[in-house]
Structure 1
Amino acid sequence: MVERNLQCRSLISGAIFSAVVGFAAVPAQADMSLYDANGLKIDAAVTAGLTGFVSPGAQFGAGSWTNNQNATQRRISGRPAWTEWFITPELKASFETESAGTFYGDVSGQVSATGGDGDPSLISTTYGRPVLLGVENLYGGWKSGKTLDGLGLDENALDLSGGRQSFKVADGFLISNGTSNQGQRGMFWTQSRTAFAQTGLLKAATGPVRADVFYLQNNSANGLMPTAIPDSAKTKVIGGNIEWFENADAEEGKPAKDGASNFADRKWYAGLTYFNVIDANTSGNLGFGNPGVTNVTSTNTLTSNRDGMNVYSAHVGGNMLPFLPDFSLYGNYVYENNSKVNRKVDANAWYIEPGYQLSDVMWTPKLSYRYAHFSGDKSPTDNKKKAYDPFFYNAITRGFGTWFIGEIVGNYVISNSNVNIHQLVFSVNPRDDLKLSVLGYTYNYDAKGQNVGVTSDNLAREIDFTAEWTINEHVSLSGAFAAAKSGTGYRQYLNLNADAGNNWNGADSTWLLAETSLVVKF
């Protein structure tokens, strides 16, 4: 286990530098070739990451606490310091044929650990220095190659796969992470595990249109030891996604862009998604409205009542206006509905994010604004859940603020439900491999009445300073410094939920956070 002196001294000293957000944003490069002949190709890859954190004034002075399940709850620290590290070896194979397309497979494992005090959530989800060794990817598939040329379709127009793997729609607002990184898994900030436990995927693309038909089951244990933090509800969904897109412009000396397969290669996109929850755990606190269960807790309102739910989504992103090449627009709308008796749901979320970059100005400054809405439940004691369920969101696509919105509040206070957020971002690029940003946030409860006794919707405000540095094609460094102040509503929430012996009252200190992350991939 990494010792605290490394956490607080060596790592945090570099917190003003960064390259990409965590594991999934490592710049693409060739894997290590082990064999390549007669159509058979075998590659290997190893990804490793180490992140250090220190957070004075955690929970605005209330501090981070242990889970009180099977033990007396106690305060861990008002200034938690912790590390997260992982190592992921991976083996890939493909066999390309003349007339039957390409067959492929992937297997990877991961060892991960959280050291020190664990994350600074009010009830820490990674306290206890958890370590886990397990399988990440284990899947196989087939691509059509040139077998469908006679039908006028593109090469590899069909891609069929199944097994344990990651899957993402658009920029990950709704679907991108099949694993809840908490409890024994650790890695709460790094989010290094993203694979769904089971998948069945059919991807199709030709010209400017691509589509997905998917079956997904998340990787849920509903409470991993040693911390016994409740996991998200075990969920199985089946659905589809269709998108219209344009490839980004090709870069000199690099392969052509492939927006059909890679989100980052799309100049712009617009799409529709639908899925139905064919099965989900609704027992105990995962059943909003179950007899004897108090509805108003965040655990109940987050992933409960999924069984039978229908989810509809529309999304757009990138630059669709050729006469304004520096303008960008991202947005997503999600509506959730469940009409089953005792599992009624009527919830929604959406965001709109325009941005503009001055590409002809030194350091290419960019300014963007986002308003994000996640519905809350103004009547939490009735039999209909109106608080939005964020399902499978993650922070793997567009950098800081997507979709853990704020390095402090977005990670350790909210869960993308019952909150409205204003976000303003200004960034510059002093070098091609270095990006510096300032991000400002205000947070307000959408339904303050969801928390009994809370009379103010003022949740918090935050400012983050981040940097993103791509050292080379194998090494990246990321970091941030953040500060947040609690609002009246969150202070009321803490005061009203303080148990005997807890000292959550007051909670008006400035909450600071410094973090730095090094990721290496070969």
Structure 2
Amino acid sequence: MSIKASKSFSLRFALTCATPAFLIFSSTAHSFQLYNDGATTIDAKLAASFGVFSSREKYAQTPTQTSGSTTWQEAVFQYGLDVKHKSEQFGGTYAALNWVSSATFGDGDAAGWSLGDERTTKIEDAYAGWKSGHLAPMLGEDGIDLSFGRQNIIVGDGFIISGDALDFGRGPLDGRLNRGGAYYLTGRKNFDQTAVVRLGGSEGLRGDLMWLKSDNPAQAAPETAVATLENVTEKGTVGLTAVKVLDTDKEFADILYPERKDMKIYSVRAKGDAGVPGLFLASEYAKEHKTTSDENAWYLEAGWTFNDTKFTPKVNYRYSRFSEGYDPLFYGNGRELGTWFQGEVAGNYAGPFNSNATIQQVGLKLAVTPTFNAGALLYKFDTLNTQVQDLSGKELDIYGEWTVNEHLLVLPLIGFYKPDHSLENGGSQLGSDSTNIYAQLLFVTNF
């Protein structure tokens, strides 16, 4: 839903769901070992990403957005220390302290979430934890894992929770939601405060109990309680998730999410190959209880990798449906490009933002060389209730993944997005409903 030029600013789902697609690429940083005595290791973490973006069209997600083309750049730089210590008598302890510097340059993004002059440096990782090692053999190795502090949390493949990864700039609400820019690259994705208990090893029955506190004004800084129960086997994982929003920041909740406080979500999910090499199956159904309505969201996905064929083609199809008033909360990319950021233009700028919509996705990926993958994602978006806004449309994204060396990844992408309607006819694209040509080039480095 776009932001209207009124005091109510009806942007609830646009803000909730606009978690950038770059999350999957920025989620892991390599490290350089500074110290290792066999029991204690100290690693220096250093990672950087830079993106160049261009969009022929803009989208009316903020009141000041104007029609025309836009070009912008984003940069993220992460640096800090990770410490681990292992002991046969006491298990293992770990901690991290990392900073993130982020910036947006140029005209600002195609939706107006950022304006091009955002810059900030803040602490990102600040957590500590303890793992049981072999002290609780009935639960498996490291069958007890306790942690607290500022850290990233992902549940399943991110259908409901994939970090707190919504990084707006100064565009919405006169800059009150500004998190420092780099909206697409997602430099900040950690929950501000957490307390996590994980029970069970890497296989068999396991579960989590979590308390997560956001400091993100664009999410109304919710405080949530989360419980999961999973059964992990070689053939796949089946899991249950329960989430309750305990509290929100009233100032922002009144504007953005008046029904988020006390909201409950229950889901059942499954993912795996069912024991068939090359097969991929995934599904999740979420039931959401809000003050005035019950909502739901679900998806079915199937894929196949042709392992004995030249270029090892990988194909998949997914159908997802999000009810009219569904609040996607903290969803994001948990697996790869296009997981829950569906469409580089639609999912980031134009909408729909995983609410009031059905979305069909067809994917193809080829291992062209040992260091270069090429892929394409085709989408069809259909709005369920078109009374307020109709964000139906189609999109084709063609991308590459070039591993230059162990420290550098280059990701080119070109997208073609055709909305059914312009802003004047109920859509979000400013000026016309013509096909938008969108391009981006990303550089990701790890040391």
Structures share a fold, TM > 0.5?
A: yes
Q: Matches of 1:347 and 1:191 in 2, distance apart?
A: 28
Q: Secondary structure at the match of 2:139?
A: coil
Q: TM-score, normalised by structure 1?
A: 0.75
Q: What are the equivalent positions in structure 2 for 1:187-266 lying under 5 Å apart? A: 187-206=182-201, 207-220=203-216, 222=217, 231-246=218-233
Q: Matches of 2:368 and 2:26 in 1, distance apart?
A: 20
Q: Matches of 2:312 and 2:116 in 1, distance apart?
A: 44
Give the alignment partner of residue 395 of structure 2, picking from 462, 482, 494. Answer: 462
Structure 2 vs 1, CA of residues 38 and 462 (structure 1 numbering), >3 Å: closer, same or farther? closer
More strand by share: 2
Deviation at 1:437, TM superposition (A): 1.2
Instruction: Please say which of residues 203-212 and 87-96 is displaced more in the overlay.
Output: 203-212
Structure 2 vs 1, CA of residues 431 and 330 (structure 1 numbering), >3 Å: closer, same or farther? same
Which amino acid is the alignment partner of residue 436 of structure 2?
W
Q: Which residue in the other structure is 1:473 paired with?
A: 406
Q: Aligned pair 1:361/2:309, yes or no? A: yes
Q: Which residue in the other structure is 2:384 paired with?
A: 446
Q: Matches of 1:355 and 1:22 in 2, distance apart?
A: 22
Q: Matches of 1:128 and 1:365 in 2, distance apart?
A: 39
Q: Matches of 1:409 and 1:179 in 2, distance apart?
A: 17
Q: Which residue in the other structure is 1:127 paired with?
A: 115
Deviation at 1:56, TM superposition (A): 1.1
Which amino acid is the alignment partner of residue 70 of structure 2?
P
Q: Aligned pair 1:430/2:363, yes or no? A: no
Q: Contact 1:29–1:474 at 8 Å: present in 2 too?
A: no
CA offset digits 1:290-318 (Å, max 9, x no partner): xxxxxxxxx74xx4311111110111112
Give the alignment partner of residue 338 of structure 2, picking from 401, 421, 445. Answer: 401
Give the alignment partner of residue 514 of structure 1, picking from 436, 439, 445. Answer: 439
Q: Secondary structure at the match of 2:192?
A: strand
Deviation at 1:74, TM superposition (A): 5.7
CA offset digits 1:123-157 (Å, max 9, x no partner): x11114100110101011111112223xx332211
Q: Matches of 1:74 and 1:218 in 2, distance apart?
A: 28
Count, aligned residues:
416
Q: Contact 2:168–2:181 at 8 Å: present in 1 too?
A: yes
Q: Which residue in the other structure is 2:155 paired with?
A: 169
CA offset digits 1:459-496 (Å, max 9, x no partner): 1111111111222222111121001111148652259x
Q: Matches of 1:388 and 1:307 in 2, distance apart?
A: 14
Q: Matches of 2:56 and 2:86 in 1, distance apart?
A: 54
Q: Which residue in the other structure is 1:14 paired with?
A: none
Deviation at 1:209, TM superposition (A): 2.3
Q: Which residue in the other structure is 2:244 paired with?
A: 276
Give the alignment partner of residue 328 of structure 1, picking from 265, 280, 295. Answer: 280
Q: Matches of 1:427 and 1:435 in 2, distance apart?
A: 7
Q: What are the equivalent positions in structure 2 for 1:26-105 lying under 5 Å apart? A: 31-37=31-37, 39-59=39-59, 67-68=62-63, 73=64, 75=66, 78-105=68-95
Give the alignment partner of residue 118 of structure 1, picking from 85, 108, 111. Answer: 108
Deviation at 1:180, TM superposition (A): 1.9
Q: Which residue in the other structure is 2:266 paired with?
A: 312
Q: Contact 1:113–1:131 at 8 Å: present in 2 too?
A: yes
Q: Matches of 2:65 and 2:362 in 1, distance apart?
A: 37
Q: Matches of 1:491 and 1:356 in 2, distance apart?
A: 41
Deviation at 1:413, TM superposition (A): 1.7
Q: Contact 2:24–2:337 at 8 Å: present in 1 too?
A: no
Q: Which residue in the other structure is 1:381 paired with?
A: none
Q: Aligned pair 1:388/2:326, yes or no? A: yes
Q: Matches of 1:393 and 1:89 in 2, distance apart?
A: 25
Which amino acid is the alignment partner of residue 204 of structure 2?
P
Q: Secondary structure at the match of 2:347?
A: helix
Q: Secondary structure at the match of 1:394?
A: coil
Q: Matches of 1:25 and 1:318 in 2, distance apart?
A: 22
Q: Which residue in the other structure is 1:180 paired with?
A: 166
Q: TM-score, normalised by structure 2?
A: 0.87
Higher Rg: 1
Q: Contact 1:281–1:307 at 8 Å: present in 2 too?
A: no
Which amino acid is the alignment partner of residue 440 of structure 2?
E
Q: Matches of 1:413 and 1:431 in 2, distance apart?
A: 34
Deviation at 1:98, TM superposition (A): 2.6
Deviation at 1:281, TM superposition (A): 3.1
Q: Matches of 1:238 and 1:84 in 2, distance apart?
A: 33
Q: Contact 2:131–2:144 at 8 Å: present in 1 too?
A: yes
Q: Contact 1:331–1:352 at 8 Å: present in 2 too?
A: yes
Q: Matches of 1:369 and 1:237 in 2, distance apart?
A: 32
Q: Matches of 1:56 and 1:309 in 2, distance apart?
A: 39
RMSD after superposition: 2.2
Q: Contact 2:151–2:193 at 8 Å: present in 1 too?
A: yes
Structure 1 unaligned segments of length 5 or more: list them: 1-20, 223-230, 248-266, 288-298, 377-386, 496-502
Q: Contact 1:444–1:458 at 8 Å: present in 2 too?
A: yes
Structure 2 vs 1, CA of residues 490 and 364 (structure 1 numbering), >3 Å: closer, same or farther? farther
Which amino acid is the alignment partner of residue 98 of structure 1?
E
Q: Contact 2:97–2:126 at 8 Å: present in 1 too?
A: yes
Sequence identity percentage:
30
Q: Secondary structure at the match of 2:426?
A: helix
Which amino acid is the alignment partner of residue 469 of structure 1?
W
